[in-house]
Structure 1
Amino acid sequence: MSKAILTLNSGSSSLKFAVFGFDATQNTPGVSGKVTGIGGAPEFSARGGDGEYLAKGILSNLNTTSSHEDIIAHLLTWLPQHLEGRPLIAIGHRVVHGGSFFAAPTLVTNDVLDKLKTLIPLAPLHQPHNLAAIRAVTKWHPEVPQIACFDTAFHRTQDRLASLFALPRSLSDEGIMRYGFHGLSYEYIASVLPQHLGSQADGRVIVAHLGNGASMCAMTNRQSVATSMGFTALDGLMMGSRCGTLDPGVVLYLMQSKGMTASQVEEMLYRQSGLLGVSGISNNMQVLQNSSDPHAREAIELYCFRAASILAGLVSAIGGLDALVFTAGTGENSALVRKLTCDRLAWMGLHLDAEANDKNQITLSSSQSTVAVLRLPTNEEAVVAEACRSFVTNNQIQDQKF
């Protein structure tokens, strides 16, 4: 009998899900959807493999006090009628931080959960909600194996020098080092690069994952060599509401001279900075692009200035650049961000085809460009599903009834 895999990506106010067949060739989900507005008026939407809606609307039985457990309960009650009789063999979760504990997909146990809870301070916007989804599934369907897939794992191929801070060695030995994030997205892009670049896919490639959270990864042989994010998801690029790279002296000043507490600084750096902080309008790139406010334009230009600067720095880690790939929400959909970023990199021989860029085509570089520039949609869910397939096959997990 055919089997099914469920993937979950749980955030603070949303839950994304997808159902994949167990067949390794099935990288397109048969059912996918999301719940948005968690903490307010939760709205549920789901589509079949043909793109048609299976469900859409406000969940009238849930409200502002509904937890992730309530949301998961609704999903797991709704889902069986759309599995077409297939047993659910595993549930895979995107978990942002695996720390130094985990470098590969891992079967969730109580011991694993305890370790992951210690990493919550390093990813406060994501880790608590990733773990809430795992606990909710455990309550409703403890018999189904759950596999945690980590955004940090892809970067474990980096050289030790790329992971070190210039701090006392004792702190590095404790695990205060650069981990990197968005690894599931980078893993997917790395897997499809040969389809678009041929043998050049194993060359010097930088992938720009630009969304509300944003980072870049420099690769050779389709493995991570260096990345812009570090110990936490605050580092590197300017983001939707996160500051990106910041002089640590600013934090000391805010605490010592402005009297801010650690929690107040955390709130500002994670939730009040980035595009939102600079513009004073929104963390949404599309909203800013549609705005005539000069602060909106300044935020966009700063975002691209920082992106180009950090990309140029990453080039040194791989000794040059053969290809640049834009992915994720902003990277895939904002022609303006791609243009403003690439215009600052023309000195590297990087040139866009204006028409291809405006039309969001796959190949964006002009015939004069010495660097290939691509726009590739990412698919983190497919990576999680493949990890579950591999785990189930290698560990001989038996079919579960669901």
Structure 2
Amino acid sequence: MTGVVLTINAGSSSIKFSVFEAAAHPQCRLIGQIEGLGASVHCKAVDGARKPLIDRVWPAGEGPDSHAAALAEIIGWLEEELPGVRVEGVGHRIVHGGRDHTKPVLIDDALVADLARLTPLAPLHQPHNLAGVAAAREHFPDAPQVACFDTAFHRTQAFVAESYALPRSYYEEGVRRYGFHGLSYEYVGRRLSEIAPLEAAGRVIIAHLGNGCSMAAVKGGRSVATTLGFSSLDGVPMGTRCGQIDPGVLFYLIDQKGMSTKEVADLLFRNSGLKGMSGLSHDLRVLETSDDPQAKDAIEHFVYRVRRETGSLAAALGGVDALVFTAGIGENAARVRARILGGLQWLGVTLDPAANDRNQTVISSADSKVKVFVIPTDEEAMIARHTIHLLGLGVPGRLIA
């Protein structure tokens, strides 16, 4: 019987999943996603060579309507697609690990309770991450479960980088900059070290630009600064989240507009960013094809904020050797990349337009002082590696922890 590791990345209305061989050098067997839970449910998956395996859409109102039901659907399909496969471990993406969780850990009841207390810090993600954990523990009671934290990568930052100018007591109780997208940064950093080891060992800015966005300054492979902070609202604007905002605006919304904290949270998390500014969509692809002036303004604001944050992170690093684009926008939006980089010539960036249009790995010109890369991220691969390493799978003579 073949041993595999299952990874689960549970979002608000979706579950991303993948299956990797339980080996020291794991190969991806398949990867997929079930989305639209509670509405029009769509399940799709491909094998390791990206050959389509399933593409099923349920009629509106039918199909799985919860994470537990969705995972049951996924498991049933996996058992048909991979007969004779034994799940030896399950790795989970957990967005918030707080100040104490700096590396992947085995999941038990005490950890679940601890992570549930962090829900106010990541309300869009933490409850659904934990719902995925609960469903997996129910379906695989004998398989060890591993939590991999998005915040862990940034725990190498100095006090000055992760603190706020508040009384020290707040910092001690956990009010600090945590940063997110750590699994993505970790994977991209490893890939950069394979592609360009000299640059990877130096001063690197990684731009994780997707529906959720953040940027990180990385020096010698370690996080020095990042744009996201205490919550997932800071930094550059995102698909539906506002990004950096003056706290005085929140007082205004509550005191002058009479909004409740719940209404403010709904505005900032779900109805701001590209969606709020454009009044049209959170999807950059939709905005790029629109003639609506508000859509154009939203894109210009996004580009401007990425440039500003790049300058800030360059200052934190004391210079830049490489800039990396990743995630949905970063990997695919050539025109947006060109507009961002067009305003960074002062930093020593020179774009190769043809390479950029082709989404090549290196999109800077040969004489650019700062090398610019496009590296696809793979959080699932990072989760699988952490899970396999922690459990000692694929290592002869090593027992499961």
TM-score of the superposed pair, with normalisation by structure 2: 0.96
For residues 309-348 of structure 1, give each alpha carbon's deviation from its aligned partner in whole angstroms, at most 9, with x where no partner exists: 0110011111100000000000000011111111111111
Match for residue 7 of structure 2?
7
Describe the SS at the equivalent of 1:72.
helix
Aligned length: 397
Contact residue 101 and residue 115 of structure 1 kept, 8 A: no
* 1:397 lines up with 2:396 in the alignment: no
Measured at CA, do residues 211 and 263 of structure 1 come closer, stay the same or move farther in structure 2, by a change above 3 Å? same
Between 305-314 and 83-92, the greater mean CA deviation after superposition: 83-92
Cα distance in 1 between the residues matched to 2:64 and 2:73: 14
For 2:178, the equivalent position in structure 1 comes to: 179
Residues 3-402 of structure 1: pairs in structure 2 closer than 5 A: 3-27=3-27, 29-59=28-58, 63=62, 66-393=65-392, 396-397=399-400
Q: CA deviation at 1:115?
A: 0.7
Deviation track 1:269-309 (CA, whole Å, cap 9, x = no partner) reads 00010001110000001110111111111100100100000
1:234 CA displacement: 0.3
Maintained 8 Å contact 2:205/2:320: yes
Q: Give the counterpart letter for 1:230 in structure 2.
A: G
Maintained 8 Å contact 1:178/1:231:
yes
Aligned-partner residue type, residue 3 of structure 1: G
Once the two structures are superposed, residues 13-58 of structure 1 have per-residue CA deviations (whole angstroms, 9 ceiling, x without a partner) of 111110000123234x111111011110211112222322222212
- The alpha-carbon deviation at position 236 of structure 1 amounts to 0.6
Task: Give the residue type in structure 2 aligned to 1:168.
Answer: P
Q: CA deviation at 1:82?
A: 2.9
| Counterpart contact for 2:38–2:61, Cα < 8 Å | no
2:197 and 2:53 map into 1 onto residues whose CA distance is 38
Which deviations, in whole Å up to 9, do the C-alpha atoms of 1:241-279 show, x marking residues without a partner? Answer: 101010000001111111111000000000010001110
Partner Cα separation in structure 1 for residue 88 and residue 349 of structure 2: 46
Measured on the aligned residues, the alpha-carbon RMSD in Å equals: 1.6
Q: Supply the distance in 1 between the matched residues of 2:57 and 2:366 (Cα, whole angstroms).
A: 49
Partners of 1:98 and 1:354 lie apart in 2 by: 40
| 8 Å Cα contact 1:202-1:221 kept in structure 2 | yes
**Would you say the 8 A contact 1:279–1:298 is kept in 2?**
yes
Residue 159 to residue 277, structure 1, CA distance change in 2 (3 Å): same
The structural deviation recorded for 1:181 is 0.2
For the 8 Å contact 1:327–1:377, the answer to whether it is kept is: yes
| C-alpha distance in 2 between matches for 1:50 and 1:181 | 29
Question: 1:150-205 CA distances to partner (integer Å, 9 max, x unpaired)?
Answer: 00000011111111000111111110000000000000011111222222211000
In 1: Cα distance, 2:251 partner to 2:345 partner: 37
Q: CA deviation at 1:141?
A: 2.1
Superposed displacement of residue 64, structure 1: 7.2
Find the aligned partners of 1:335 and 1:230 in 2 and give their Cα distance.
28
Structure 1 runs not aligned, ≥5 long: none
Identity of aligned residues (%): 46
Contact 2:200-2:221 within 8 A present in 1 as well = yes
1:59 is displaced (CA, Å) by: 4.1
Whole-Å separation in 2 of the counterparts to 1:317 and 1:175: 23
8 Å CA contact 1:207, 1:216 repeated in 2: yes
Q: Identify if the C-alpha distance between structure 1 residues 61 and 241 changes in structure 2 by more than 3 Å, giving closer, same or farther.
A: closer
In structure 2, what is the Cα distance between the partners aligned to 1:352 and 1:305? 17
Structure 2 runs not aligned, ≥5 long: none
One-letter amino acid of the structure 1 residue matched with residue 367 of structure 2: Q
Q: Residue 87 of structure 1 aligns to a residue in which SS?
A: strand
Per-residue displacement from partner, 1:67-94 (whole Å, max 9, x unpaired)? 1111111112221233342321100011
Equivalent AA in structure 2 for residue 68 of structure 1: H
Q: Describe the SS at the equivalent of 1:38.
A: coil
Kept after mapping to 2: 8 A contact 1:323/1:372 = yes
Partners in 2 of 1:65 and 1:48 — Cα distance? 23
CA distance in 2, matches of 1:339, 1:51: 28
| 2:392 alignment partner, SS class | helix
Q: TM-score, normalising length from structure 1?
A: 0.95
Question: Deviation of residue 350 (structure 1)?
Answer: 0.7
Query: Is the 2:323–2:372 Cα contact (8 Å) retained in structure 1?
Result: yes
SS in 1 for 2:196: helix
Alpha carbons 1:4, 1:83 under 8 Å: kept: no
> What is the CA distance between 1:374 and its match in structure 2?
0.4
Q: Measure the CA separation in 2 of the matches of 1:216 and 1:50.
A: 30
- Corresponding letter in the other structure for 2:147: A
CA contact (8 A) 2:39 2:60 kept: no
What code does the residue aligned with 2:380 have? Answer: E
Are the equivalent residues in 1 in contact too, given 2:64–2:73 (CA < 8 A)? no
In structure 1, C-alpha distance between the alignment counterparts of 2:23 and 2:60, rounded to whole Å: 36
Inter-partner Cα distance in structure 1 for 2:79 and 2:362? 40
